Amino acid sequence: MPKKVLIADDSRFQVQMLSMFLAEKGVEVIAAQDGLQASALAKRALPDAVILDINMPGGSGIEVLKRIRLSTNTQHIPVVVVSGNVDTEVEQSAKTLGVMAFLHKPIDTDELWTTLSTLLSPNAEHTAL
């Protein structure tokens, strides 16, 4: 059974690029264009991991992350944040909320795949940053 990853990013280009990349790796992709959609899809689809942009309409990535962590059904899902935002306060907030990795845009797909492979492996221990 393929692993399922939710990509939440308001950039259609980013979603399309990551979707194609992950599909080639055998990963099932679910996409959200904004924060509200991301929160709803995380709860409904229960993905194996989430790739989350910080700056999105309909609720920032930090707000989505808070909602994911508050629900007992989704609090265990590993989250990788990707952002063009270099604000250390935002990065610290994400780390406090238990993100597994904080990657900066433009995304290095090799680094992303290494991170996701580790998180999606059967014996992965999800230790936040």
Question: Please, which pLDDT band fits residue 109 given cuts at 50, 70 and 90?
Answer: very high
Instruction: Determine contact, residues 109/25, Cβ cutoff 8 Å.
Output: no
pLDDT (tens digit per residue) in 60-90: 999 999 999 999 999 999 999 998 877 889 8
pLDDT (tens digit per residue) in 8-31: 999 999 999 999 999 999 999 999
Question: Please, which pLDDT band fits residue 122 given cuts at 50, 70 and 90?
Answer: confident
pLDDT exceeds 60 at position 126: no
pTM score, two decimals?
0.93
Return contacts of 24-31, CB within 8 angstroms, 24+ apart.
25/113, 26/2, 27/2, 27/3, 27/116, 27/120, 28/2, 28/3, 28/4, 29/4, 29/5, 30/4, 30/5, 30/6, 31/6, 31/7
Taking residue 83's Cβ as centre, other Cβ atoms within 10 Å add up to: 20
- Distance in angstroms (rounded) separating the CA atoms of residues 43 and 30: 12
CATH numbers and ranges of domains, the chain: 4-120 (3.40.50.2300)
pLDDT value, residue 128? 55
